Amino acid sequence: MAGGGDMHKKLFHAQAVVDVRDSYNLLTDFEGIIKAASLDTLGREVRRITHQLGFEHFLYGVRYVPPEGDACQFILSGYPKKWMVRYQEAGYVEVDPVVAHTYRHPTPLIWQQSMFDTPDRKIFMEEALSHGLGSGLSVPVRGASNETAGFSLSNPDRTKDAHMHSVQLSGTLYVLSSYMHETIRHLVFTPPQDEANIPSLTPRELECLRWWVGGKKAVQIADIMKISLAGVYFHMQNLKRKLGVRSKHQAIARAILLGMVSP
């Protein structure tokens, strides 16, 4: 599991700090999220606050349907990277009870045993636990532009204390999620008013991006474009840098919303 006993004690001890703060100071802390000018800055700020609130991991995901075009998804992850890879490989989005809750209910979800009520979900739960996701809470977010999002905080422990910690922080997470969602909406889903601010791509980068959006893997793109795998990775890194994102899925979402490619 991720983290050690000392880390967990430190994280849970952070609750005492939260409890004695007044609301004004808490909101002032969250202002750093609104002021984030890039996804990198936002990620660092959210991780800092996540630890301050006594949690080790965070995940924000949103599904957005633009006025014209197909729906796209965006994820800002503070979950273990190995778990995110495994989650996608196994298609766990189809069995994840958090995802199902996010689309169907407006209420907070405190993670508990009863959520994993099918054989597939039990396997999912045990594998998540092995990657350091034992307890936590999630809240849904409904946006003004037909977007549905979910924000989760998690810890490795699956104990009574960890459960109670999640319960006690559920209200705070609602406030944090609203700040988070507004910043993501501005950084990702709002096209620049000035076309000069839309990144300029080379023909090779644009071709690579189109194959990427089409679902091709790096090795397939290399074969199609008749370039080396290292060349594909080079173009991908340039694309992410120009779009101001860190992952493939973020780059695709941003490029579609900027009208650079079609889904």
Q: What CATH number labels 5-187? A: 3.30.450.80
pLDDT for res 189: 74
Give the bridge partners for 109, in sequence order: 138
- Neighbouring C-beta atoms of residue 146, cutoff 10 Å: 12
Domain boundaries, the chain: 5-187, 195-257
**Is the distance from CB of 109 to CB of 59 less than 8 angstroms?**
no
Rg (CA), the chain: 19
* Cα gap 246→135, rounded to integer Å: 27
Query: pLDDT tens digits, the chain, 263 residues: what are they?
Result: 344 555 555 554 544 444 544 555 677 778 889 888 888 889 999 999 999 999 999 999 988 776 666 667 788 999 999 999 999 899 999 999 999 999 999 999 999 999 999 999 999 999 999 999 999 999 999 887 778 899 999 999 988 899 999 999 998 999 899 999 989 888 877 765 555 567 888 888 888 888 888 778 889 999 999 999 898 989 888 888 888 777 777 787 778 767 777 65
CA distance 251 to 212: 10
Which residues does 207 contact at the CB level (< 8 Å), separation at least 6? 225
Task: List pLDDT tens digits, range 190-199.
Answer: 765 555 567 8
pLDDT in tens, 51-77: 999 999 999 998 877 666 666 778 899
Which one of 1.10.1370.30, 1.10.10.10, 3.30.2310.20, 3.40.50.300 gives the CATH number of domain 195-257? 1.10.10.10
Q: For residue 25, with 0-12 CB atoms within 10 Å meaning exposed, 13-18 middle and 19 or more buried, which class applies?
A: exposed
